[in-house]
Amino acid sequence: MEAVERFWLSLADNVVLLMVMMPLVGSGLVRFLKSSGSEPVYFTGLVNVWLTAGLTVIMVASFRPGQPDASRFSTRMTSSLSWLAEWKRQPDAHEGGSASEQQPQTEADQWHPYGPDIRLSVGVNRYSLWFLVLTVATTLAVFRSISADDPRLISKLSWLLFTESAMLGAFAAQDVILLAMCCQLSTLGLFFLIGQGSDPARREAARRFFRMQTVSGMLILFGLVGTAICHWWMLATVEPGNADLTFSLRRIVASVPRLVFETDAARDLWATVSPWLFISLCSGFVLRLPLPPFHHWWFRVSEHADSRVVAMMAVGYLPLSFYAAVRILVPLFPEHVAQIAPRLFLWGFLSAMFLVVSAVAMNDPRRKMAAAGMAGGCVAFVVALFGEPSGTQGGLLLTVAMSGSLALLHLSVFAVSPGQLAAPAAGVFTDSPPSGTISGDTIRLFDRLPILIGLAGLSAIPLSGSFWGELLILQSIFRRDATAAFWLMVAAFVLAISIRSCWRDFFESPPQRLPAEDSHRSISRQSVVNVMPIILVLAAAAVAPQWIIGPSRTATAEDATARYLIGDESTEETAMSLQEAKRSPGSVLPVTPSLADPVRLGE
């Protein structure tokens, strides 16, 4: 039993690293075994995705967020491997001193990195946990919907696993180079997946997507690397003999707000450079979201790409902008965020209103759902920049529910069943559902369940996860501007009304209204089983939203100031809390704890 316990603890400690690397290894195996035939290739990939799903279950079961007073970004289950660094033995600092002054050094203390310390460092926190779960669940559903007789089997499976690994790495990355690299690799993988569809306009959609997202990735890379170099320079002004060029995201986000106030040189440098770094990062994530008027590529991809690829993008690609806003922009640039947040909120608010009106006017269900999902993403992103816990919690819940609902609908309603290897071309209609499926007029409630849950989450009807997220967001906005909160309620109501036409299309309309390849009137039982993990996550968001956002407590602004003054590097949102404390001295600030354990300052 002791050996089993040690194995379990070792596996739990490195489960995130294994989960990120497993699909990448599977992608290489699929390419390596292409000469063995389609059946060995398919089952190799199938074993790989199931192993990744098993590791995800272990990650969720082993996740221990931390103490209530600790940061909501307290990272657990971290694994860090040296990637690019030259390690040399450091001479003993007490060499030559008296015997009483000498202190023993461990073997680890005697080695020191020289040069840029780029590491394969991954971990998970409460905000990235559910995006990782949704990405793995969606990849499993997509893989099971691919037929072993598909003529492009090897290309599809290898790029699917490659893209899954890059998406997981982007959410789990604790190194800025790893984060920027995963952003670019996920763009590359999606570019090839979009181009492998059957729609004649898919190649143009892939080219538009690639051009826009390459610019986004380069802006993110410039901002992250520039921030790492600024951190190294400021650290050298404070500790000249102990300044390392580190790319650790946790260390940079935790220490930059403190280093700015250590020396005048550091303050002057940050005042000069930080606006450009903030503009670069914010622009990159805005293009990735995408925020109108940079949204046309998303409409084209939603309309012309394979629905399974759109489902992957909905859960593993677009939500990264919200996560990065909360994880990087707010704690790292508190002053710039405080200045730009009201303007960005106006932009996001007008964009959401525009998208809601567009959804009402659209007849294509694909474009209508794409507009609805984008509207929710815009609201969550701009509200997160205010740094208020209730708004951030609501943004997380809204993003998880809307992205999961969008993926669920694309996988269960629009996805081509495995038996439809030769789907009709776009614009070809049929009066009968494809063979091997259950007609929409006769299917039972179990078969309608994915559509019901997906449309409920996308339209934010009461008792859905997105509904609770909107309530938290409205609570946050109402304290700032009651008029904006009122119009957001109106927009949510109009969006729910516009999505009602999708209910009519999926359940009541004659079959010739949509292309036969969409299979909107019929759902295979196998597809319902495939999307069951996504349904469970959405059900948890609706029934027990505290599982997604975590329990909450209150802390005074003085507590936030105290955590900042003692230099607690584990509290990465201290700068954000200090700004709130300065605006409202003596106020009571709700914060997001991670676990209801006894409070321990500085944990």
Per-residue model confidence as pLDDT tens digits over 415-473 = 543 333 233 333 332 333 443 344 444 345 566 778 888 888 888 888 888 899 989 99
In-domain check, residue 426: no
DSSP string, 228-278: HHHHHHHHHHH-GGG---B-BHHHHHHHHHHHTTT-HHHHHHHHHHHHHHH
The pLDDT of residue 43: 93
What region, left, alpha or beta, does residue 66 occupy, with left being phi > 0 and alpha being psi -120 to 50 degrees?
A: left
Q: Say how far apart CA 303 and CA 204 lie, in whole Å.
A: 12
Q: In this structure, are 367 and 404 located in the same domain? A: yes
Residue ending a domain, among 331, 359, 375, is: 331
The pLDDT of residue 28: 94
Q: In this structure, are 178 and 155 located in the same domain? A: no
Q: In this structure, are 4 and 52 located in the same domain? A: yes
Is residue 246 predicted with pLDDT exceeding 70? Answer: yes
Q: Tell me the three state secondary structure of residue 118.
A: strand
The pLDDT of residue 90: 58
Q: What percent of the chain has pLDDT over 90?
A: 33
Q: In this structure, are 276 and 361 located in the same domain? A: no
In-domain check, residue 164: no
The pLDDT of residue 86: 60
DSSP string, 379-440: HHHHHHTT--HHHHHHHHHHHHHHHHHHHHHIIIIISPPTT-SSPPPTT---SSPPTTSEET
The pLDDT of residue 477: 87
The pLDDT of residue 363: 78
- Quick one: tokens of 130? 């559910």
- Using one digit for the tens of pLDDT, what is the confidence trace for 88-126? 565 554 444 444 444 554 544 455 556 677 888 899 988
Is residue 559 predicted with pLDDT exceeding 80? Answer: no
Cis before 293 (ω within 30) = yes
The pLDDT of residue 41: 92
In-domain check, residue 288: yes
Give the residue with greater pLDDT, 197 vs 504.
197
Q: In this structure, are 4 and 57 located in the same domain? A: yes
DSSP string, 72-114: TT--EEEEEEEEEEEEEEPPPTTTTS-TTT-----TTTTEEEE
Least confident of 38-47, 538-547, 577-586: 577-586
Q: Say how far apart CA 167 and CA 184 lie, in whole Å.
A: 10
- Using one digit for the tens of pLDDT, what is the confidence trace for 210-233? 999 999 999 999 999 999 999 999
In-domain check, residue 446: yes
Residue among 478, 499, 299, 300 nearest 409 (CA): 499
Q: In this structure, are 206 and 274 located in the same domain? A: yes
Q: In this structure, are 275 and 359 located in the same domain? A: no
Q: Say how far apart CA 427 and CA 513 lie, in whole Å.
A: 10
- Using one digit for the tens of pLDDT, what is the confidence trace for 16-66? 999 999 999 999 999 999 888 888 999 999 999 999 999 999 999 888 765
Q: Say how far apart CA 37 and CA 55 lie, in whole Å.
A: 28
Range of the domain at 221: 173-317+325-331
In-domain check, residue 389: yes
Handedness of CA 414, 418, 419, 425 (dihedral sign): positive
Q: In this structure, are 290 and 338 located in the same domain? A: no
Q: In this structure, are 297 and 357 located in the same domain? A: no
Residue ending a domain, among 535, 568, 593, is: 535
Proportion of the chain in helix, strand, coil states, percent, rounded to 5 = 65, 5, 25
Is residue 158 predicted with pLDDT exceeding 70? Answer: yes
The pLDDT of residue 7: 63
Give the residue with greater pLDDT, 587 vs 347.
347
Give the DSSP letter of residue 597: -
Is residue 245 predicted with pLDDT exceeding 90? Answer: no
Return all residues near 508 (Cβ < 8 A) that are at least 6 apart. Answer: none
In-domain check, residue 270: yes
Q: In this structure, are 346 and 399 located in the same domain? A: yes
Residue 304's Cβ-side half-sphere holds a number of Cα atoms within 13 Å equal to: 21
Is residue 131 predicted with pLDDT exceeding 90? Answer: yes
In-domain check, residue 453: yes
Residue among 42, 73, 20 nearest 185 (CA): 20
Return all residues near 383 (Cβ < 8 A) that are at least 6 apart. Answer: 345, 348, 391, 392, 394, 395, 473, 476, 477
In-domain check, residue 101: no
Give the residue with greater pLDDT, 289 vs 446.
289
Q: Tell me the three state secondary structure of residue 591.
A: strand
- Residue 297's pLDDT band (boundaries 50, 70, 90)? very high
Q: How many residues does the chain have?
A: 603
Q: What percent of the chain has pLDDT over 70?
A: 72
The pLDDT of residue 359: 79
Task: Over range 282-303, report the average pLDDT.
Answer: 90
- Residue 160's pLDDT band (boundaries 50, 70, 90)? very high
Give the DSSP letter of residue 175: B
Residue ending a domain, among 513, 535, 557, is: 535
- Using one digit for the tens of pLDDT, what is the confidence trace for 69-95? 334 456 777 777 776 666 556 555 444
Residue among 470, 484, 163 nearest 349 (CA): 484
Q: In this structure, are 412 and 477 located in the same domain? A: yes
Q: In this structure, are 151 and 223 located in the same domain? A: no
Task: Please give the tally of structural domains in the chain.
Answer: 3
Q: Tell me the three state secondary structure of residue 463.
A: coil
